[in-house]
């Protein structure tokens, strides 16, 4: 008799998931609790384990399909009894510890019970886990009796064991389709948009549809900023930190947010209300081989330039390598996107919804400028922030950018922020 495996609950409030890739094919023999596919939701991406072993005889969906929770996912035959239906043998009974007979009187009845050498053994007898999972846990020195199973009927899965090994999970980054795949001239090629690439697209559409964007562009004379950074980047390097311009911009934003608190806000669409945040949590748009991610630097207001530089370098590197934690991608109040190292003078960035603003930072370039009646070379940079026009008026945006420009053109003023 075959077993139909349905897509389990994959998160609180999640009603569907996208099937990103199959990990098994029809005809494969799988063990209980073996990962069979990768799915992606709005909250995370994850592998799905099938609790039943056997031979895969049918897959009900294709990669890229959106699958409702509890719908049919996989059919497994029950013919391979050694894998699929064989009950787990009970653990060997503990031998009672023999004690010398008392010389005067018999011990009370409870003293004659067998003495178990380890209390864990009794608990393990109650554990529901496949042999493969037990072997994996034993290899990792994990006590299964300390784990709460999330599988069917409370069964402990391999993922439960992995969570016990590393309680804070990294977000598994699933590569998008090869949208840059080469084709021959005169030949068309259709590439299905799935996984992360689809989520990016949905997020961008949601942002543009909900928030009426407008972009305000101004230029900044970054000559002094370049000089200050050049003067201290060697000191930062001695401490093993690469100092870029982004930490200066982040600290400048903290200063300006005091006068323009509504820019450091997020929208609650259900209540149609704006929450002005007391913390400054700035996301850094990061280009990775898997697509665009925005890791968030928390509590920027309480960190030094050096601390910010070190944290940015660490989290962006882990984001590119796929080792960023889910919590590090959440909780942003404002976002910076920079393509200055690639080129381009300015852009019109899309707001990272539900935030209400995003700052585009662009290339610093040499330009002739008239200073005190003389033409001199200066380091110029365009800022191109976008705002949610529902809550940020054009005049407020212009004043905000003007205040930010003033701080960046006189970076020594950031010394006033030191505590």
Query: What confidence score (pLDDT) does residue 145 get?
Result: 82
Q: The dihedral of CA 12, 17, 23, 25: what is its sign?
A: positive
Using alpha carbons, list the distances in angstroms from residue 327 to 18, 88, 357. 21, 37, 21
CA within 13 Å, CB half, 24: 27
Give start-end residues of each CATH 4.10.320.10 domain in the chain: 109-165
Identify the CATH assignment for 204-417 out of 3.40.640.10, 3.30.70.100, 3.30.559.10, 3.40.1160.10: 3.30.559.10
Q: What pTM, to 2 d.p., does this model score? A: 0.66
Architecture of domain 3-84: Beta Barrel (2.40)
Q: What is the mean pLDDT of residues 118-146?
A: 66
* Residue 323 predicted with pLDDT over 70: yes
Q: Which distant-in-sequence residues (6+ apart) come within 8 Å of 122 by Cβ?
A: 116
Model confidence pLDDT, tens digit, residues 109-122: 444 333 333 333 34
Higher pLDDT, 260 or 100: 260
Query: What confidence score (pLDDT) does residue 166 get?
Result: 53
CA within 13 Å, CB half, 156: 25
CA-to-CA distance for 45 and 288, rounded, in angstroms? 16
The residues that are catalytic are 389
Give the Cβ contact number of residue 78 at 10 Å. 15
Identify the CATH assignment for 109-165 out of 3.30.465.10, 3.30.70.240, 4.10.320.10, 3.40.50.970: 4.10.320.10
**For residues 315 and 295, is the Cβ–Cβ distance under 8 A?**
yes
CA-to-CA distance for 163 and 273, rounded, in angstroms? 36
Higher pLDDT, 240 or 102: 240
Give start-end residues of each CATH 3.30.559.10 domain in the chain: 204-417
Query: What confidence score (pLDDT) does residue 224 get?
Result: 97
CA-to-CA distance for 75 and 411, rounded, in angstroms? 64
* Residue 124 predicted with pLDDT over 80: no
Using alpha carbons, list the distances in angstroms from residue 335 to 31, 40, 83, 331. 45, 24, 50, 11
Give start-end residues of each CATH 2.40.50.100 domain in the chain: 3-84
* Residue 273 predicted with pLDDT over 70: yes
Model confidence pLDDT, tens digit, residues 388-397: 999 999 999 9
Burial of 13 from C-beta contacts in 10 A (0-12 / 13-18 / 19+): exposed
Q: How confident is the model at residue 279 (pLDDT cuts 50, 70, 90)?
A: very high
* Angle at CA of residue 127, ends 30 and 151, nearest 5°: 50
Burial of 209 from C-beta contacts in 10 A (0-12 / 13-18 / 19+): exposed
Query: What confidence score (pLDDT) does residue 60 get?
Result: 94
Query: What confidence score (pLDDT) does residue 116 get?
Result: 35
- 118-127, 253-262, 334-343, 409-418, range with greatest mean pLDDT: 253-262
Backbone angles phi, psi at 144, to 5 degrees: -65, -25
The tokens for 181 are 């795949």
Per cent of the chain over pLDDT 70 is 80
* Residue 180 predicted with pLDDT over 60: no
* Residue 6 predicted with pLDDT over 60: yes
Give the Cβ contact number of residue 155 at 10 Å. 18
Model confidence pLDDT, tens digit, residues 37-53: 999 887 667 889 999 99
Q: How confident is the model at residue 83 (pLDDT cuts 50, 70, 90)?
A: very low
Q: What is the mean pLDDT of residues 390-407?
A: 97
Q: Average pLDDT of the chain?
A: 82
Model confidence pLDDT, tens digit, residues 195-231: 777 888 888 999 999 999 999 999 999 999 999 999 9
CA-to-CA distance for 283 and 297, rounded, in angstroms? 6
């Amino acid at each position: 008799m075959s077993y139909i495996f349905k897509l389990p609950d994959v998160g609180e409030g999640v009603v569907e998931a996208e099937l990103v890739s199959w990990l098994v094919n029809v005809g494969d023999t799988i063990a209980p609790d073996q990962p069979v596919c990768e799915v992606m939701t709005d909250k995370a991406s994850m592998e799905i384990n099938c609790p039943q072993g056997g031979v895969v005889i049918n897959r009900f969906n294709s990669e890229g399909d959106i699958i409702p929770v509890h719908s049919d996912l996989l059919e497994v035959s029950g013919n391979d009894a050694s894998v699929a239906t064989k009950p787990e043998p009970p653990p060997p009974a503990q031998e009672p510890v023999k004690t010398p007979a008392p010389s005067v009187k018999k011990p009370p009845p409870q003293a004659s019970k067998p003495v178990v050498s380890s209390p864990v053994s009794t608990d393990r007898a109650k554990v529901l886990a496949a042999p493969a999972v037990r072997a994996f846990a034993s290899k990792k020195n994990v006590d299964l009796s300390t784990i709460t199973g999330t599988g069917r009927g409370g069964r402990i899965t391999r993922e439960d064991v992995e969570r016990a090994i590393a309680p804070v999970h990294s977000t598994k980054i699933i590569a998008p389709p090869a949208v840059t795949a080469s084709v021959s001239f005169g030949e068309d090629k259709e590439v299905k948009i799935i996984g992360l690439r689809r989520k990016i697209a949905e997020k961008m559409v949601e942002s543009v549809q909900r928030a009426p964007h407008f972009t305000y562009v101004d230029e900044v004379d970054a000559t002094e900023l370049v000089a200050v950074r050049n003067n201290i980047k060697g000191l930062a390097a001695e401490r093993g930190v690469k100092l870029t311009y982004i930490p200066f911009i982040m600290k400048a934003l903290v200063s300006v947010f005091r006068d323009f608190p509504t820019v450091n806000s997020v929208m609650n669409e259900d209540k149609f209300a704006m929450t002005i945040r007391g913390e400054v949590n700035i996301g850094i748009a990061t280009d990775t081989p898997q697509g665009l991610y925005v890791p968030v630097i928390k509590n920027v207001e309480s960190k030094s330039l050096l601390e910010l530089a070190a944290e940015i370098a660490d989290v962006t590197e882990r984001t590119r390598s796929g080792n960023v934690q889910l919590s590090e991608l959440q909780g942003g109040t404002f976002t910076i996107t920079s393509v200055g190292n690639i080129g381009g003078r300015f852009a019109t960035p899309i707001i990272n919804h539900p935030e209400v603003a995003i700052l585009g930072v662009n290339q610093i370039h040499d330009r002739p400028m008239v200073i005190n009646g003389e033409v001199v070379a200066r380091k110029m940079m365009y800022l191109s922030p976008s705002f949610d026009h529902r809550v940020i008026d054009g005049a407020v945006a212009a004043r905000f950018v003007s205040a930010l420009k003033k701080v960046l053109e006189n970076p020594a003023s950031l010394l006033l922020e030191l505590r």
